[in-house]
Chains A and B, each alone.
Chain A
């Protein structure tokens, strides 16, 4: 399968207001297929709201959002996920009362056993899909160093492990693009580097696109192919890490905030 040309994600003039306050005020940007793109900006720039709009957890008041050429603005989250865009959350949301393995299996796509009619009419297909899903879950858990934890309750994992599980779970859906909201937050640096290595490897192996929000400028500058900078609900700059660092508009947006652009 050859990847069609054009950006995987195209956002044009997205607007979202809460009680009259514009959280996203006409943002436009593209995310290139197979890229690792960072979304940065000072606190309150609208990054998380933008993630909500992209993943269907908020309906934009205006503007279009295209995923592989298809308009997804205002579509239900589950439909967007089934089109191949999967997100993680800023505060990790593992399903604490379920086992790590069940967290992974739940994410498997095309499981006929999740539908009552198919379950009753062809239980064999459900079992086959389950076996296949279990195999790929074992592989992903091994990649993320969670193989030994497969039988534990997800609620019993450490904070860093939950982060890993959430990312592994997102990948379990076989996505074409993954949105990671602060994947490094609350994770120790060694583990953080591992996560980033996995991301780079998966991009190479599967061509998966990654869009992530991150505050650590070192990570952004060394790991992203492309950077999108938001401030006050707008995209004020896009470009390569080197280009962004030199952009005066970006430096100005960051003045007076704790996240100064690293020299």
Chain B
């Protein structure tokens, strides 16, 4: 029981870790306030669900299509809104995420609040095969373990790719733009193109996270992609530290342990009150950390000065 619980916490930490890698790439490394990440995640997840259920695509092909669609969404948001001031851009991205959620909730094609069901057969097959293998080493009882392994494998691979990328001249241009985009443009760098790339990659990461969310919840409904989840991502970012991909791992583990860990305590509170309390805790995290340690727990103060 308890092991299953912690495996599930690990799954969530990994999924939202992938999701937050994108936010780190945007907010931490190029200084772009993307608050629409949940919208990109929804696009990715629903593309997977609908392509498999309604069009009979293979799950894996649908994953690629979902990533592609999220990237197109990212390019669309970026091309239309990147010229806005940073706070207006942030509001525009939130509005984008709300529109995505709203459309999914109300349109015919997405099944509305009934959601999408029955897209994960191929995953179940793979998962059962993996469970059979795990049974050989005595771990066959933990049904979520294959998902945990898949999520963390993807998380760590993507993490490694991003860390390598950040060390290249490409990554250096991103940091230059974060520090001072005018000065970087004056040195001959196409700031818009880099911001667009950063946003598109973040959208792709959100789509991968969305894929795993789809596998985890087994049926898709719009409130799974409430824009509030973008705020969860930022809470992880503040916890782990800005401008540090390693910080995303730490932030993810800490955040979900603290958030889900509250379920382990027996309190006199009703279920609803406990749910409220979890969000209040997230709110206090954001308030306290952005006040006391704006660069995050692992963040580098000199690198990530918080500036106007």
Q: Which residues of A contact B (CB under 8 A)?
A: 55-57, 76-78, 81-82, 86-87, 89, 93-98, 102, 105-107, 109, 111, 113-116, 119, 126, 129-130, 153, 155-156, 169-170, 173
CB-CB < 8 A to B170: which residues of A?
A: 113-116, 119
Q: Are B185 and A78 in contact (CB under 8 A)?
A: yes
Q: Are A155 and B187 in contact (CB under 8 A)?
A: no
Q: Are A106 and B172 in contact (CB under 8 A)?
A: yes
Question: Is B191 an interface residue, CB under 8 A from the partner?
Answer: yes
CB-CB < 8 A to B302: which residues of A?
A: 97, 153, 155-156
Question: Is B101 an interface residue, CB under 8 A from the partner?
Answer: no
Q: What are the 9 closest A-B residue pairs judged by CB atoms, nearest first?
A: A81-B188, A113-B169, A95-B179, A93-B183, A77-B185, A82-B188, A114-B169, A107-B187, A97-B303
How far does the alpha carbon of A81 sit from the alpha carbon of B168 in the complex, in Å?
Answer: 22
Q: Which residues of B contact A (CB under 8 A)?
A: 165, 168-170, 172-173, 175-176, 178-180, 182-191, 197, 243, 302-305
**Is chain B's interface secondary structure helix, strand, loop, or mixed overall?**
helix
CB-CB < 8 A to A98: which residues of B?
A: 172, 175-176, 179, 303
How far does the alpha carbon of A87 sit from the alpha carbon of B78 in the complex, in Å?
Answer: 28
- Which of chain B's residues has its CB closest to A112's CB? B169
How far does the alpha carbon of A43 sit from the alpha carbon of B186 in the complex, in Å?
Answer: 24
Can you list 30 residue pairs at the A/B interface with Cβ under 8 Å?
A: A55-B186, A56-B185, A57-B186, A78-B188, A78-B190, A78-B191, A81-B186, A81-B188, A86-B188, A89-B182, A89-B186, A93-B180, A93-B183, A94-B183, A97-B304, A98-B303, A106-B172, A106-B173, A106-B189, A107-B188, A109-B188, A111-B169, A113-B170, A114-B172, A114-B189, A119-B170, A153-B303, A155-B302, A155-B305, A173-B188
How far does the alpha carbon of A5 sit from the alpha carbon of B241 in the complex, in Å?
Answer: 55
CB-CB < 8 A to A78: which residues of B?
A: 185-191
With A116-B197, A173-B188 as known contacts, state yes or no: A97 contacts B172, CB within 8 Å: no
With A78-B189, A155-B305 as known contacts, state yes or no: A95 contacts B168, CB within 8 Å: no
CB-CB < 8 A to B243: which residues of A?
A: 97
CB-CB < 8 A to A105: which residues of B?
A: 169, 172
Q: A81-B188, A89-B186, A105-B169 are in contact. List 6 more A-B contacts (CB 8 A).
A: A78-B185, A86-B186, A97-B243, A98-B303, A111-B169, A155-B305
CB-CB < 8 A to B179: which residues of A?
A: 95-98
Q: Are A173 and B169 in contact (CB under 8 A)?
A: no
With A113-B170, A153-B302, A155-B305 as known contacts, state yes or no: A95 contacts B186, CB within 8 Å: no
CB-CB < 8 A to B304: which residues of A?
A: 97
How far does the alpha carbon of A111 sit from the alpha carbon of B187 in the complex, in Å?
Answer: 12
How far does the alpha carbon of A98 sit from the alpha carbon of B165 in the complex, in Å?
Answer: 17
Q: Are A86 and B187 in contact (CB under 8 A)?
A: yes
CB-CB < 8 A to B178: which residues of A?
A: 97
- Which of chain A's residues has its CB closest to B201's CB? A116
How far does the alpha carbon of A114 sit from the alpha carbon of B305 in the complex, in Å?
Answer: 24
